[in-house]
């Protein structure tokens, strides 16, 4: 995309590590047409759960943060199976880097449950997850007849919008807000309520569930990724960018 006379601010509210990676993808895709502002609304805090027993046949990861948390608690976690079912490609890559033989569901919690059921796992399985989760995968699998245990390996602590983000939102230029989770969406709407919001906001939701949680946060427009993956999110941000440039 050609450079514009006015770079559009994109406020990234993802946790710092994921936000930094996605910022690289944004710059590769849109170049000087954008200005990325990092403002994580969640920060991970790794926990030390007691993980023992369980002749598990595979583990389940629903985020790359869960993989990072697993690496933090190792070797106290004991010997776990190396097979891992992962919600998406990014999580699967993190799991492979951590030594797992990982397979990606390339989607959301429903896709991950379908992947495990389709693999005809006998179980028991172990879901390493965050304190707040979407989809209740363990319960779905148990109801389907597959014994599944859970271990909460991290919590995500809410953060305030950064001063740079607040400054952009208080200006008159359009701002693009990509949002990747319902919980982040709820924190963001609360933060926007307390901010001096002047800028037209173009919100971009990772999924319909995120869009529902955003409510009226997208004052100038709301775009929803066609699939819950990075390429679809980049495409939706591209649509928002075009709308912001003519606003």
| Tens digit of each residue's pLDDT, the chain (247 residues) | 444 458 999 999 999 888 999 999 999 999 999 999 999 999 999 998 877 667 899 999 999 999 999 988 876 556 788 999 999 888 999 999 999 999 999 888 888 999 999 999 888 999 999 988 777 899 999 999 999 999 999 999 999 999 999 999 999 999 999 999 898 999 999 999 877 889 999 999 999 989 999 987 778 999 999 988 889 999 999 999 999 998 7
Distance CA 42, CA 24 (A): 20
Distance of CA 141 to the CA centre of its chain: 22
Structure tokens that stand for 63 in this block: 């985020």
Task: Show the 3-state SS of the chain.
Answer: CCCCCCCEEEEECCCHHHHHHHHHHHHHHHHHHEEEEECCCEEEEECCCCCCCCCCCEEEECCHHHHHHHHHHCCCCCCCCCEEEECCHHHHHHHHHCCCEEEECCCCHHHHHHHHHHCCCCCCEEEEEECCCCCCHHHHHHHCCCCEEEEEEEEEEECCCCHHHHHHHHCCCCEEEEECCHHHHHHHHHHHHHCCCCCCEEEEECCHHHHHHHCCCCCCEEEECCCCCHHHHHHHHHHHHHHHHCC
Distance CA 236, CA 38 (A): 19
Residues 83, 104 contacting (CB under 8 angstroms): no
pLDDT of residue 1: 42
Distance CA 172, CA 11 (A): 15
pLDDT of residue 167: 95
pLDDT of residue 76: 58
Residue 75: asked if its preceding bond is cis (omega within 30°), the reply is yes
Distance CA 72, CA 183 (A): 24
Structure tokens that stand for 195 in this block: 């901010």
pLDDT of residue 51: 76
Distance CA 62, CA 133 (A): 9
């Amino acid at each position: 995309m050609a450079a514009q006379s006015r770079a559009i601010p994109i406020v990234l509210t993802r946790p710092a590590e994921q936000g930094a990676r996605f910022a690289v993808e944004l710059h590769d895709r849109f170049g000087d047409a954008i200005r990325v502002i990092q403002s994580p609304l969640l920060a991970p805090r790794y926990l030390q759960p007691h993980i023992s027993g369980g002749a598990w046949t595979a583990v389940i990861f629903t985020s790359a943060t869960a993989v990072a948390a697993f690496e933090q608690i190792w070797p106290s976690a004991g010997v776990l199976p190396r097979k891992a079912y992962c919600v998406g490609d990014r999580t699967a890559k993190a799991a492979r880097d951590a030594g797992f033989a990982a397979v990606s569901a390339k989607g959301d919690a429903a896709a991950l449950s379908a992947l495990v059921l389709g693999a005809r796992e006998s179980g028991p399985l172990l879901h390493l997850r965050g304190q707040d989760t979407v989809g209740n995968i363990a319960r779905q699998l148990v109801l389907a007849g597959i014994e599944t245990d859970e271990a909460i390996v991290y919590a995500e602590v809410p953060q305030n919008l950064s001063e740079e983000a607040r400054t952009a939102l208080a200006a008159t230029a359009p701002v693009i807000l990509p949002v990747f989770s319902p919980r982040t969406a709820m924190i963001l709407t609360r933060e926007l309520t307390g901010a001096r919001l002047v800028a037209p906001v173009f919100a971009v939701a990772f999924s319909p569930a995120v869009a529902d949680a955003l409510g009226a946060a997208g004052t100038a427009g709301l775009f929803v990724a066609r699939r819950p993956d990075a390429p679809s999110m980049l495409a939706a941000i591209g649509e928002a960018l075009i709308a912001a440039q003519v606003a």
